[in-house]
Structure 1
Amino acid sequence: MGLDKSNKANNELDGLIGALYADLDGPEWSDAFLAGVCRATHSSAGAFVVTDLTLQRDALPSFYGAETVSALAYERRYAGHNPWRAARAVAHRHDGMILSSDDIMPVSELKQTVFYRDFLHHLGVAHGAGLIGLSDARAVGSLTLLRSSQAGPYTTEELRLLRSLAPHWSNACALRQRFDALSDQHRRLTAVVDHLALLVFLLDGEGRLVRTNVAADRCLSSGLGLKVWRGRLMAVHPASEVAMAGAVLAASAAPRMGAPPAHAFLLRDPAGGPIGHAAVHRLHPGGAAPVVVFVRLLEAAAGSTSDRLRDALRDAYGLTSGEAALAEALAKRHDLTRTASGLGIASATARTRLKAVFDKVGVENQTGLVAAVLALREVLGPVSTLPSAIDGRGATQLKYGAPVGGRSGNT
């Protein structure tokens, strides 16, 4: 009998751990785990609660057994009255810590609080338990379980289950935090790439087109130099198509050791006229590696450098229009007082706005901000017409292959 009970407990634990890691990279990654833990501990409700220690605000990314209106009411009105919340914010808290509401405050005292009278009572809740999964100087993330007076305090066996889950919950929270950071970096990188005047085409190991940026999409829509046929990127002019196919093949067959070389070709319009420089790069040296095709058109994208830089600052760092204008102007003038005057704002306003920009960009001072803005401007590239020498000499060190048909590469 005891063995059967032990096997059942182990199977339950394995099932909960499996649910925790099953969808860790998905938007609702904690939902199935939360629901499973609530059922295993006879909890009528539960939530994944994230407390912002700076703003002293709670958010509920996931909840179980409660209506959405109750979750929103907690976030907006009752979180500040929660007497259990202080226990999650104590200095000695740590990842994997188990909290029981009855150890924090007896039910008799709890029932005297505004939190119980105006919130918990309507949910039929009197007891709670918490499992901290994330704890640092800025935030605490915990699994919070709730149940009624009739169900009573959480038992030793139920708390033992939470302790068994604790290292897995902490590990999952740490992994998820890393995923979120990587996703944010990817979003910022994508935003910057979309503002490039440079055309970017990503081809997989089989030569199929899998990703483009905004400038590349515009080029494909125009039909002037490139097109997509059966999922593959092709040049409109025969000479350019032969040159591009050769460049992609050469890049794909590049040596596996050392820095993969770039393979360049001249992009022509349907009539054979040169419209841009292109280069194919292998992304990494192993296996059937994907390649990226960069194209710089001789006539660059419309719009001023300042406009594109401000757009990129907004998208990459989440700056407001005013903050982006300040950052862009400060990179030119390097003097906050003159920059504020040029933008028509008070120096005090500029200083306040600048602090917000530092936080969003992730720099500590004006020097760091200017460096970040100048680096972004360099990546975006100029919008003026490129030099008319289109044989690759002078403007680039890449060596072009001999032209095949059409016009000569030297005009």
Structure 2
Amino acid sequence: MTETLTTLTGALDGLYRSLANGSDWQETVRHGAEATGADRFNLVTAGNDGTARQFTYPFDPESALEYVTTYLPRDARFPRLIARPSGFVTTEDLMSPEEIANCPVHQEFYRRHPECWNSAIVFGRSEDGLVVVGAHRHRAHPAGWRKDQPSLMIFANHLARITHLRDIVPNGAIARQGALAAFDGLDDAIAIFDVNGLLVHLNPAGRRLIDGRHGLRLVGHRLMAGQPEVTEAITRAVGKTIRVLAGTDLTLPRPVPVPRPNGRVPLFLRFFAAPSHDGRARYGVVKLVDPAEKRVPDIAFLRSATGLSNGEAALAVGIYRGLTVKAFAEEAGLSEQTIRKRLKHVCDKLGVRRQPEIAMRIAALASV
């Protein structure tokens, strides 16, 4: 195992221990600095209600508070992040050299904190807003973030899901009760599988969605869908999660959409690695998300985030709701041929090929 991989694996173990034990976020971001070799590492959560929090390592609460209250509203990168698909960016991807030269964050805040000058950011959308992971290096330190992008992406992928689990699981509940009991008390639909990929537990909310009426069923201890290709996608996602549990892979799978009967909006399966009582990731968790119970993205927001026109954004939302091209055409009062042409434009602009991929992109923007 390479030194980089050893460091990253150790940091991920620490990350899961922090979830199991209910450690504060300060301990969590320390593991991020270790994983990425950053001079400063931070986690910013920006809520839909306008609130923002920042946790930073090395510990510096004064500068963290100053950034969130004084400089975050003036940081040109954040509105530009919101308009992009989730993923990895550097400051240079978001701002020109001229903008950096006139940026109050760089010219005022970062001059007093030069260890933040070269920044790489991985961000995603949570159910409550944005989760932004930032790794920073000193102004005198060569940036080199492209080389370290894989490590940062892997750690941020886990951190985003840990953030979500910490939002829904009471603090320290896994250490006190064990993973099964901790998830049983949630309103969220949760299924838990072991290192063999066998489903070993469903919480009450999960049982309500795995009954055949929602496109999912249990065959023995295996989670299956109505379509063979969807079952295959679930199997691949479970397998990838098991590799993370076993330490042979570091990247968790993308959500899997599951079509439901009667053209209803599909379910989405999100995969997590959850810690056992000692903090090591030893349980696979599937969260079953029903988008019908979640908000649909605003058309104006979709336009700014994706570059779609009003009509294209409406079609993308229709697909997210589970409508076929024919059903959407009838609802919109347009010909099926017109909608198929519009569908091609949507696919081109989103960089996807199939309708389920459109639904996944809209699901991400809907904070599923």
* TM-score of the two chains, using structure 1 as the length reference: 0.38
Bigger RCO (CA 8 Å, 6+ sep): 2
The structure with more helix, counted as a fraction of residues: 2
